[in-house]
Amino acid sequence: MTEGQSAMLTPRLDIARSNRSVVTLGKVQREALDELKDRIATGEMRFVHLDCPVCGGGSLSPVATRDRYGVACTTGVCTDCGLMQTNPYPDASSLDWFYANIFARLHRGTTSPSTARFEGRRGLAHEVVGWLRQNGVPASGLAVDVGCASGGFLQGLVDNGYTGIGLEIDADYAADARSRGLDVRLSTIAGLAEAGEAVLVSYVQVLEHIVGVNDELAALRARLSPGALVFIEVPGLTSVPTMYNKDVLRLLQLAHVWHFTPESLGNLMAKHGFETVAITPYVRGLFRVPLETPATPPMRIETIAQVRERIARLERARLLYWRTWAIKAKAVLKRVLGRSH
């Protein structure tokens, strides 16, 4: 259920204003995008309404009707708790088709595992491991990375002295990780029990993709002992300044169903019995299974007005950011040169 659509839309986020991608696309990406848009236009891509995973609410106030690629989809804010979400969302069969045929081609420009992406995630692990240790993660022991893809983040943990095990549901990516000498198993979170007692379980840019995020976190909690630590990084509104060049539209993509903030991620984890050890505006959080059953903390509600103001501040900052205009100039030049050939 949605409400207040015309009042909530920022013009730039409206599909009626523009369906042009704000991301420069290569040939493979353009072909994938055309296939996706055609499937949506014909109704073969079916969308269903989701209840909010944090509070169970069903009422949304829309803030966008397009994503960064110009795909028609609605992003709204839960009127009860403030979680931003892509909703309605593709149903199970449509989502299976999307990930099997579109996601890698559109998002990465290739269907093959990428060494550059591997090294990027490896560097991320090197970047955050100091922060993790400062906040109580042991300096060695077993680390399990869930949804590890080719294992870049896992490799970074191994580089820093951990014994690493990865869990991945894509056979090609799991095979690529194993070819790099990593212990990566073709498994969901169910494989955590067989991995052994971990000092750290990580989800790096994974939870935003999982429609059944409550089922995932319930399964995770059931497999962890008191004192266990979980590291989660997800993209969200508060990470837009550094991750997306201050452009909120670049955050939005059909593959991301939940758009967390530190507050909403903390709310969701508390719902499943985790306590927050530390969390940053980049939406990097460290959570712990408490030694004793704690009282459920009060939910940190974000109002629609607060979310709208965050988006408005980002839009103002984007217009003042030099890189915004450099990106625009590059895109215009590319289109002009393309027409001249």
pLDDT tens digits, 252-295: 999 999 999 999 999 999 999 999 999 999 999 999 999 887 77
Q: Is the pLDDT of residue 189 over 80?
A: yes
276 close to 265: Cβ distance less than 8 angstroms: no
Average pLDDT, the chain: 92
DSSP annotation of 92: H
pLDDT tier for residue 6 given thresholds of 50, 70 and 90: very low
pLDDT at 20 over 80: yes
Three-class SS of residue 185?
strand
Terminal C-alpha separation, the chain: 48
Residue type, 270: A
Q: Residue 111 gets which letter from DSSP?
A: S
Q: With 0.95 as the threshold, say if the pTM is over it.
A: no
pLDDT of residue 190: 93
Query: Most distant CA pair in the chain: distance in Å?
Result: 69
Give the pLDDT band of residue 5 (cuts 50, 70, 90).
very low
Predicted pLDDT at 301: 87
Tell me which long-range contacts 180-188 makes (C-beta under 8 A, separation of at least 24).
Answer: 180/118, 180/150, 180/151, 180/155, 182/151, 182/154, 182/155, 182/158, 184/148, 184/151, 184/154
The pair of three-digit structure tokens given for residue 101, joined into one six-digit string: 């045929």
Are 233 and 282 in contact by the 8 Å Cβ rule? The answer is: yes
pLDDT over 80 (residue 322): no
CA distance 331 to 338: 11
pLDDT more than 70, % of the chain: 93
Across 69-84, average pLDDT: 96
d(CA 71, CA 136): 42
pLDDT (mean) for 300-326: 86
Arithmetic mean of pLDDT, 64-80 = 97
What pLDDT score was predicted for residue 131? 98
Report residue 303 as tokens.
């109002």
- Rounded to an integer, the average pLDDT of 194-202 is 94
Q: CA 55 to CA 296: how far, in whole Å?
A: 13
CA 135/CA 286 separation, integer angstroms: 8
pLDDT of 9 higher than 70: no
CB 39 within 8 A of CB 93: no
Pick the range with the lowest mean pLDDT from 135-144, 199-208, 311-320: 311-320
As a whole-number percent, the residues of the chain with pLDDT over 90 amount to: 83
